[in-house]
Structure 1
């Protein structure tokens, strides 16, 4: 059976540079690596094929010979002396070096699994009110997490015993198997890559070295915090294994919506109804503030719906600077009176009879534009 073209195997063109070849090899080697395919013979064959192709094309001399003579360059009597990895060289060692160069010193998967492993980070979602975000607060939370087992001090071995070095991998956490002229490295099946085996597991944790516990923590929520912000508590995550450091705890804050105020960064907004008479004559209305107090807002004479009035310093504090505080914007909407008595209606009619264009400039201007529009439409019809 004839060999496939090396460039075709890697999915590269003949003018591909070293970076493109290396990238193609990395992707295919990860795809067909035996550890990723459960020992599938077809995947192992493809893995070998990809390794052989890259071993040739990554060498300038071998690539030049292959480009000129093809596979014949490495057959008996060919330019390569019958070995695509180089005459007299040990193909196993060369392949291991090649794989380590592409994926790192630890081989496939990087570092070995037997060493200390940092504990996982944890996430906790915390809801607070807008008023609590304004003042800040000290919150007590309960976080379930894995902690080191006390009876075995996190070793997983029963008290009085210790984990033993795995006799299959010698503590390396990896074992090698011969596959033709390749040496394949896999996770040790006996110790699962830890390099240690536990003959007498701890009864408390079952040999895991960790147990689940719910811890109570006190968290300081700063004033001015906003939804989406996170607070990091270093070393309050999951415990590490084999002496590894603890992970961190991240608290994600969600400020729930308020019935009265809407927030935009440090500023607050609210809509306030204004009686028609107050809007016309001017006056004052009273509104609440986020700190639980009250504030009086002066309504100018002739105020219209949609007008915003600003109360300086009545917004939210800045989480970055306690000296900075946002503003409170009050948007007015003029309330039309309902459920009028006969006398009230009579007074309103009298008011309407004695008002003119000066009292309703917006209405008069709008009516004027309507009249001009209608007159223009009539003129156009007559012209046609």
Structure 2
């Protein structure tokens, strides 16, 4: 079977929209199934193993995959794609498969160790709702591992150099045999680097990095919310022996506001009004987060719990245009301190009530009366 005769996606049994993780999972599953060591003497399985390896070798590379998606197999014929159409697999992936099949008896998969990227770091920052509304530029101080200034990250004492490892002869891996199988593993002497430091740097003790406090500038854009993550590329922990640094991720936490509660781009607040305003109607003025006063018109006869909306008076849309809404929940407040005059006026009002003024109350008591009548009949 030739991989050029069958669509690569069909070979790997995935959709053309499959992401990198899906591709790798499908490849590992098929490679384990058709691996020659699992199917000794089976020429068809060996051919299938080579075919899926070739397919994965193409699709795991973004440039090769783009060329294949556009031109198909022709992309790798007559030099069109510039890629190698031969059937081979990434050694790290094969090492993962061997480890899955045969266990970790030899300390993991083979292959020369690549420079280990520095660790990503997390920083939790608390900001106010006002900061989230307007955005802000600020500074943080973090203690991270940075490249050693004495040895420039090499780990070797200045004036000295690394030498090739005598055990693996600079390859970074050694072979060990288990029964019929020869397994490669990282060299225990140089830890897969292929080089040995005879004179470690005294400042960093051969690590190539030291801990140092750093002041970092952080830009917080308008509209951020709880859990928004800001990435500072290359500001994480430095990698060992001059390897690239990781990233710093800043997670934002917004403090509780005295007036507003936030839900997405909407700002919610509760506004108490007197029962006379609720009955007769009126208006209230609420200052927005931008300092602009927003007039909210209260219709006559409004009830507690009714929500009124002011369009465009909420939070900015993160990395977008426009703003959300301000939502005002009306709370009708019953007076607790009345003058004699006010009490007298209320008594006069009570004497003029017909029941039509509060239809919900009248309807409720009519239901109770009806239910009571049904029970007594």
TM-score, length basis structure 1 = 0.70
CA distance in 2, matches of 1:316, 1:99: 48
Q: Please name the residue that 1:326 is paired with.
A: 324
CA distance in 1, matches of 2:28, 2:279: 76
SS at structure 2 position matched to 1:340: coil
Please state if 1:60 is matched with 2:42.
yes
SS at structure 1 position matched to 2:200: coil
> Any residues of structure 2 matched to 1:36-185 within 5 Å, and which?
55=37, 57-60=39-42, 103-104=94-95, 109=108, 112-185=111-184
User: Residues 259 and 101 (structure 1 numbering): CA distance in 2 closer, same or farther, change over 3 Å?
Assistant: closer
Is the Cα–Cα contact under 8 Å of residues 92 and 111 in structure 2 kept in the other structure?
A: no
CA shift for structure 1 position 198: 1.3
Is the Cα–Cα contact under 8 Å of residues 228 and 253 in structure 1 kept in the other structure?
A: yes
How many equivalent residue pairs?
301
Looking at CA atoms only, which structure, 1 or 2, has the larger radius of gyration? 1
Gaps of 5+ in 2: 1-26, 46-87, 100-107
CA distance in 1, matches of 2:318, 2:260: 19
User: Residues 161 and 342 (structure 1 numbering): CA distance in 2 closer, same or farther, change over 3 Å?
Assistant: same
CA shift for structure 1 position 19: 8.7
CA shift for structure 1 position 272: 0.4
User: Residues 155 and 362 (structure 1 numbering): CA distance in 2 closer, same or farther, change over 3 Å?
Assistant: same
Please state if 1:301 is matched with 2:300.
yes
CA shift for structure 1 position 318: 0.8
For 1:167-207, what per-residue CA distance to the aligned partner results, in whole angstroms no more than 9, with x for missing partners? 11112222223445543433322222222211111110011
Q: Please name the residue that 2:370 is paired with.
A: 372
CA shift for structure 1 position 286: 2.9
Q: Please name the residue that 1:310 is paired with.
A: 309
CA shift for structure 1 position 312: 2.1
CA distance in 2, matches of 1:194, 1:320: 43
User: Residues 58 and 353 (structure 1 numbering): CA distance in 2 closer, same or farther, change over 3 Å?
Assistant: farther
Is the Cα–Cα contact under 8 Å of residues 284 and 297 in structure 1 kept in the other structure?
A: yes
CA shift for structure 1 position 274: 0.5
User: Residues 164 and 337 (structure 1 numbering): CA distance in 2 closer, same or farther, change over 3 Å?
Assistant: same
CA RMSD of aligned residues (A): 3.1
For 1:59-107, what per-residue CA distance to the aligned partner results, in whole angstroms no more than 9, with x for missing partners? 42799xxxxxxxxxxxxxxxxxxxxxxxxxxxxxxxxx99969725997
User: Residues 320 and 179 (structure 1 numbering): CA distance in 2 closer, same or farther, change over 3 Å?
Assistant: closer
TM-score, length basis structure 2 = 0.71
For 1:81-139, what per-residue CA distance to the aligned partner results, in whole angstroms no more than 9, with x for missing partners? xxxxxxxxxxxxxxxx9996972599755564543332222222221111111100002
CA shift for structure 1 position 329: 1.1
Q: Please name the residue that 1:360 is paired with.
A: 358
SS at structure 1 position matched to 2:167: coil
Is the Cα–Cα contact under 8 Å of residues 234 and 249 in structure 1 kept in the other structure?
A: yes
Q: Please name the residue that 2:289 is paired with.
A: 290
CA distance in 2, matches of 1:101, 1:230: 31
SS at structure 1 position matched to 2:37: helix
CA distance in 2, matches of 1:106, 1:160: 43
User: Residues 105 and 331 (structure 1 numbering): CA distance in 2 closer, same or farther, change over 3 Å?
Assistant: closer
CA shift for structure 1 position 22: 5.5
CA distance in 1, matches of 2:149, 2:92: 42
Is the Cα–Cα contact under 8 Å of residues 121 and 247 in structure 1 kept in the other structure?
A: yes
For 1:220-278, what per-residue CA distance to the aligned partner results, in whole angstroms no more than 9, with x for missing partners? 11101111221222222222344433322222222222221111211111010001111
Q: Please name the residue that 1:10 is paired with.
A: none
Is the Cα–Cα contact under 8 Å of residues 164 and 197 in structure 1 kept in the other structure?
A: yes
Gaps of 5+ in 1: 1-17, 27-53, 64-96, 380-384
Is the Cα–Cα contact under 8 Å of residues 22 and 102 in structure 1 kept in the other structure?
A: no
SS at structure 2 position matched to 1:147: strand
Q: Please name the residue that 2:187 is paired with.
A: 188
CA distance in 2, matches of 1:290, 1:216: 30
SS at structure 2 position matched to 1:55: coil
Is the Cα–Cα contact under 8 Å of residues 159 and 202 in structure 1 kept in the other structure?
A: yes
